[in-house]
Amino acid sequence: MKEFTYVITDPEGIHARPAGMLVKTAAGFKSDIKIEKDGKAVNAKTIFGVMGLGVKKDMEIKMTIDGEDEDQAAEVLQKFFSENL
């Protein structure tokens, strides 16, 4: 299992466009991928789950990746967050 945390820097937080991009990126991996905020974890491959967290600027999220391609998924998702959020 791989985990990392990230503090959102986008002024609008995780809004519709980056949420859709995140879901599409996560869906490309076989691993189970969860995004967590304030103790609530949801499947990062579902747009309703990601949007339902209501992540705003300066909030910290935790990503948990567990599965056969977890190393690659963690690397790609960390890059995604640093470039988009």
| 3-state secondary structure at position 78 | helix
Look up 15 and say whether it is catalytic. Answer: yes
- The structure tokens listed for 13 are 């937080």
Distance, in Å, from the CA atom of 11 to the CA atom of 72, rounded to the nearest integer, reads 28
Please pick, among 6, 15, 32, 72, the residue that the annotation labels catalytic: 15
- DSSP labels, 30-69: SSEEEEEETTEEEETT-HHHHHHT---TT-EEEEEEESTT
Active site residues: 15
